[in-house]
Structure 1
Amino acid sequence: MDEPLIKDNTHKKTKKLLKIIVALVVLVLLLVIIILALEIRSLVVLKETKNDITPAATEEYDFIVVGLGAGGSVIASRLSEIPHVTVLGIDGGPHEVDADEDPNDSEFPYSFISPHDPSVVSLPLKAGKNKIMYIPRFNGLGGTLRLYGGINVRPSRAILERWPENWRYDDLLPYYKRIEDHYCYYYPSHETGISDQDCKKYHGKDGPLQVNPTYVPEFANISKTFESICKDSTQMWHGYNSDLNGANNLGCALFQRYLNRKGDRTDVQSDYYLGTSFHGYLNSSVCKRTNLRIRPATSVIKILFDTSCTPPKATGVVIQNGTGVYTIKVKKELILAGGAFATPHLLQISGVGDPVHLQSINILQIATNYHIGRNLRDHVAIPIIFQVKDKYSTYPNHENATTPPQYRKSIPNGSKSWIIALNTGLRNDNITDLQIYFSDTNYHSPDGFMNTNPRKCRFGSNGHKEEPLAEITLRMILQDPSFSGTVMATTGNIANKPMVDFKWEKISDYEYGVFSVTVDAIRKLLHTTEWGDLIADELFPGNDTTIEEFINNHLESALHPISTCQLGLCCDENLLVYNISNVRVCDASAFGEQVDANPTATIFALAEKLSDIIRKEYGYVSYSKNHNLLTKEKSRVLAPGETIPSDTIHKLKDYSQIFPQAA
């Protein structure tokens, strides 16, 4: 080869390498700037406001609950039913009246970088071409459920067999029922497809949370046309299942969601709001209890222990809000309910964890527990995105008309229609291998964190807003991936975020297989069904990309982190953290193993079961549906200090409007 040509090729390679290096440097700098901005914004929460409460000098409570999300709201409410017990609920999210954006505004931007967001990002995912993943969470009354879709799906009996004894399907069923006010009690069985016998066996009535289904007459044509496929017993999901939370966990079904109707309970056209644990369990009447105190915009920065006891005994917490730093004492127990990231982080900051890790970040060890912050599990999601021939086929409840209609939101459904739970037969079990969410409209809008382009960020579709043709997304969620990660404190300061490492090192043949056979089955429908005739093109993965390549480039978290203080390893069957006393866990971090379902219902059930455990241990009155009648309000003790106004619940904004498609 001629020497000038060699030099020219070398020069081109050098220039290309320099461009790559510059691009990487810019990306790293951008990430640093974003993280610093998020840190600075999170500090705004600690500025003093007129709503901040200065604790009394000697505040002491029987129970302190840290975090008022799905688990914390339940346990705080249930324990405060006991009239002679004082309960303090603490939450780190900012005051609702101080929120600087209104998510109910139609012009509200999708990006969820807000004072409520702890801005969790992962270490690079090796199995995902080293992408860094942003995990939206919600610090505030009601927790992350206020951000996501309120989907009510229970784990299968088969997967709960992996959990420790006393925490399996039959043990949890009474608690799944207790939380519900289920629609099967309000409609005839020929409409719901759920018999009266199965309704009573599997579902509850008059519980704190309404459960309502999606409504077929409001479906867009693209989803209505899919109904015959949904009910086809020859499909890999074996046809329609009227109740995925009943005897059979597999099939194609209507979504069941925690949506509270604003009007008549049976009015399917009534507008709704997302029913969170705060709405259901800490409503206005509960907030008026004199033995309950609720403190938002307050960070717990450390747990205090009496190390002269064996094992070390929790005696209180150090808190910080806009007025200063204070110590609050606990008489009986501290209950941690901050979630799969915050709970292990607080324990580690307080000196409980792996001694090697604690020593490496200069934290004084209080107790050894190697399982704190380990066994992080999640579900893995990828989308199939189709372009449709007629954009109006994605408009809810649209009949063919001569004039183009205006797009409007379907009140009963939001963005959802069908949910599919299937087992591919690739393993010899009966768990749900994969969930598929079918959306009439928009799905996976950009999250605004790293890139405003939806296909380069959360990789999805803006639905009916896409031009020139509308798009739909079938979101596939792998329910039992093999990954097991960690959440580890990086310093002794609670304000410094923990390191989240999902350890998604390699996709297994089973995991590739589940996605591959499902995509193949859906692609066949394009050529053999009326629904397929409505589809113009498969945009992603597309025929020019292998499933393996697409998964490697575009896998993402389904936003279901669990098990970082795993039942049976990190805490015992009564959810007491090993090797310390007076500390329990009441959130998704305590899950005993994987779940092949959305975690929300199981968090509620876990918290309900824990309330019964505590009642039994202390000899308190057993649970009653008429808990407000257990005692006259005037007989309640008076807890120290101030609390939130009882009408705070009416000020809660519906942040699920940001994530209308989320899990």
Structure 2
Amino acid sequence: MRSTLSGAATLSLLLSTFDIVAASPTSKKTVKKDAAASYDYVVVGGGAAGLTVAYRLSADPKVSVLVIEAGELDQKEDYIMIPGLAGTGTGTKYDWNISYTANPDLNGRSVAVAQGHGVGGGTLLNRMLMDRGSVADYARWPLLGAIGFDWNGLLPWFKKSETYVPANADVAKEYNITYNKDVHGFDGPIKNSHSPYVFPTLKNYILAHRELGAKTPVDGASGDNTGVYAITHCQNPKDASRDSARTAYHDKSAGRSNYKLMTGTMVTKLTSNKNTITGVEIATGPSAPRTTILAKKEVIMAAGAIRTPHIMKLSGIGDPAELKKFNIPVIATNLAVGQNLQDHVFLATVFGINAPITTNNFADPAFAAAAMAQYRANATGPYSTATADYLAFLPANIISPQKYSQMALSLAAQDSNKYLDASAPASVRAGYAIQKALISKGFLSSSEAVMEVIWADGVVVSALQHPASRGTVKLASADPFVAPAADAAHLRNPVDLQLMVETVRYVRRMMATKAMAPITPTEYVPGAGVTADADLEQFIKNSASTVWHPVGSCHVGAQALGACADNDFKVYGVNNLRVVDASTMPIMPATHIMSTVYAMAEKAADAIIH
């Protein structure tokens, strides 16, 4: 006789095939367990935002929380944990290994965009930088209806997320590192500290910027972030190791019986009853069985600025015209989903320098071996820093004293619609008109950074901070295992390209300062003979890339100004769905985005709880 299973038994059998991580935070493997059929909260994405929200929600033992992560727990590999190897986890299994769509403004190139694919998300892969934007950066957000998201509205959440550790006395004295205790937290999950080792040519870099007019604020995390100043990293000072969202949040949650983590599992779509979200559909692969987990209270999207709009569209939340192309039933019209995508633009210029100790010494096996032995013995030396221990965030009048006002006027005079994607609805166009005006005004402000300049011992990385270009995240297929078509639209707006040209010229002035003379720089890339605007433009189009900071594709604020979610992070048009990750930022701030993601997630958790 053929046996049959009840619906509940079938669900239990299917769920037993998914990995639920055992309670021990140091477990090096996942343990097969039966998942419950429902949880109060289901969090989609186990990166910085998702793990933060889950940690706060699961603090209440009466609340059950499930985090679903497509990647796995890291095994604390050296390339994850050691600061001197930060960034080398890209291209591994902890990276989604996706690229933006081919971009005509980059001469047809498609550039890779590293996105975390593991428990901790991008905090496993990045360079660990914990800087913040300025008062002026976050003051822009309420003008798009994101009330309560200005500097004063976010500062409590920056503080709540961190345990700030001042620099070692010797490093603080040598590099004049100061801080403002009023803007820092001292008992939060993330260890936020200064590197115990600094490569010596950083002094040349600091003095060169000052020679060209850059100031040094008391604390760049205090809301005044223009100038050249010391930067902190998400680094545990006890052993100089990376403190990721996995170690800082998940490992603290893992001992709670009401907290579960499901790894190696894709959310293929959200389930719904009319316009009320009821749970998620999951699978471990394209041909694996699909099943549903119910959310008794809410589903919380934390899959990042590329995957969050992707999953929402697959679920029938978005522009009906796009959804119908892929035969996806519409459950809610939300035209802003996947619009307003922004990312910092990356450009490297390369100089040869003469200095006894640089990051280039790692290429010498004897130096690298000695440095690793020093790190393992006492957590100091060259491997104890992720570098970028000082950064320069510069206003337009320093980058281009002759042309900054002309660039402001040029941007202000543009038709706001000219460089937007044809799919942008009226609400997004209205919001972008405000954004463009704010970016234009920012060119004229000495307290708003337009460019970041990073030093890596002769490699000078410039990062465009407030791009005027806006991209999209669109469906490429109705198959959830096919990556979406994400277009960051790098350099789509010609003012972005002009500012990058002027930045190459600024970098050359910096390398020609008296401060740089002792290390005798020689330009290799693009080469000192590349001077004309047209030639510099081609160099930039052929080599510019991304800093891996996609934001804005489901931002909070006023729906009439292109927002996807309200100021409690609730998605417009549906019930029981919030979005809490980097996609919620209305306008990209002039900073590495990790600390802002943590702050937004802390704020979101508070909104959910209260």
TM-score range, shorter chain: 0.7 to 0.9
2:19–2:32 contact (8 Å) kept in structure 1: no
Match of 1:491 in 2: 477
In 1, Cα distance between equivalents of 2:103 and 2:290: 37
Cα 1:406–1:376, aligned 2, differ >3 Å: closer, same or farther?
Answer: same
Cα 1:416–1:396, aligned 2, differ >3 Å: closer, same or farther?
Answer: farther
2:50–2:580 contact (8 Å) kept in structure 1: yes
Match of 2:600 in 1: 606
User: Structure 1 residue 404: deviation in Å?
Assistant: 12
Cα 1:601–1:112, aligned 2, differ >3 Å: closer, same or farther?
Answer: closer
In 2, Cα distance between equivalents of 1:506 and 1:422: 22
Match of 1:15 in 2: none
1:176–1:605 contact (8 Å) kept in structure 2: yes
Instruction: Give the paired residue count.
Output: 513
User: Structure 1 residue 357: deviation in Å?
Assistant: 0.1
Farther off after superposition, 419-428 or 579-588: 419-428
Match of 2:225 in 1: 249
User: Structure 1 residue 107: deviation in Å?
Assistant: 11
Give unmatched runs, 5+ long, in structure 2.
1-16, 22-28, 372-380, 398-403, 405-442, 558-562
User: Structure 1 residue 368: deviation in Å?
Assistant: 0.5
Aligned match of 1:174 in 149, 153, 156? Answer: 156
Cα 1:96–1:257, aligned 2, differ >3 Å: closer, same or farther?
Answer: closer
User: Structure 1 residue 253: deviation in Å?
Assistant: 1.2
Aligned match of 2:553 in 549, 559, 564? Answer: 564
User: Structure 1 residue 214: deviation in Å?
Assistant: 3.5
Cα 1:317–1:405, aligned 2, differ >3 Å: closer, same or farther?
Answer: closer
User: Structure 1 residue 395: deviation in Å?
Assistant: 5.5
Q: Secondary structure at the match of 1:345?
A: helix
User: Structure 1 residue 227: deviation in Å?
Assistant: 4.1
Cα 1:137–1:219, aligned 2, differ >3 Å: closer, same or farther?
Answer: same
User: Structure 1 residue 574: deviation in Å?
Assistant: 0.6
In 1, Cα distance between equivalents of 2:454 and 2:107: 25
Which of these two proteins has the greater Rg computed from alpha carbons? 1
Matches within 5 A, 1:212-251: 212-215=193-196, 218-230=197-209, 232=210, 234-237=211-214, 239-251=215-227
Match of 1:434 in 2: 451
Match of 2:6 in 1: none
Match of 1:595 in 2: 589
Cα 1:508–1:236, aligned 2, differ >3 Å: closer, same or farther?
Answer: farther
Match of 2:340 in 1: 375
Cα 1:604–1:527, aligned 2, differ >3 Å: closer, same or farther?
Answer: closer
User: Structure 1 residue 193: deviation in Å?
Assistant: 5.6
User: Structure 1 residue 96: deviation in Å?
Assistant: 4.0
In 1, Cα distance between equivalents of 2:19 and 2:184: 45
Amino acid at match of 1:282: H
In 1, Cα distance between equivalents of 2:240 and 2:499: 35
In 2, Cα distance between equivalents of 1:376 and 1:174: 27
Q: Secondary structure at the match of 1:374?
A: coil
In 2, Cα distance between equivalents of 1:96 and 1:225: 37
Match of 1:394 in 2: 358
What's the CA shift string for 1:315-352, capped at 9, x where partnerless?
11111237843211111110010101111011111111
Matches within 5 A, 1:520-559: 520-546=505-531, 547-559=536-548
1:52–1:297 contact (8 Å) kept in structure 2: no
Match of 1:79 in 2: 57
Cα 1:342–1:530, aligned 2, differ >3 Å: closer, same or farther?
Answer: closer
Match of 1:640 in 2: none
Matched, 1:327 2:292: yes
Amino acid at match of 2:276: K
Amino acid at match of 1:495: F
2:20–2:262 contact (8 Å) kept in structure 1: no
Give unmatched runs, 5+ long, in structure 1.
1-44, 264-270, 441-471, 617-663
Matches within 5 A, 1:4-19: none
Aligned residues with identical type, % of pairs? 27
Cα 1:327–1:55, aligned 2, differ >3 Å: closer, same or farther?
Answer: farther
Amino acid at match of 1:258: C
Amino acid at match of 2:201: I
Amino acid at match of 2:270: I
Cα 1:313–1:194, aligned 2, differ >3 Å: closer, same or farther?
Answer: same
Cα 1:65–1:119, aligned 2, differ >3 Å: closer, same or farther?
Answer: same
Matches within 5 A, 1:111-130: 112-130=90-108
What's the CA shift string for 1:258-293, capped at 9, x where partnerless?
1112x3xxxxxxx4211111211122x421111111
Match of 2:579 in 1: 585
What is the TM-score of this pair, normalised by structure 2? 0.77
Match of 1:277 in 2: 245
2:20–2:33 contact (8 Å) kept in structure 1: no
Cα 1:561–1:384, aligned 2, differ >3 Å: closer, same or farther?
Answer: same
1:87–1:291 contact (8 Å) kept in structure 2: yes
Cα 1:577–1:359, aligned 2, differ >3 Å: closer, same or farther?
Answer: same
Match of 2:265 in 1: 298
Match of 2:383 in 1: 411
Aligned match of 1:340 in 284, 305, 323? Answer: 305
Cα 1:532–1:571, aligned 2, differ >3 Å: closer, same or farther?
Answer: same
Q: Secondary structure at the match of 2:166?
A: helix
In 2, Cα distance between equivalents of 1:319 and 1:95: 18
Farther off after superposition, 497-506 or 154-163: 497-506
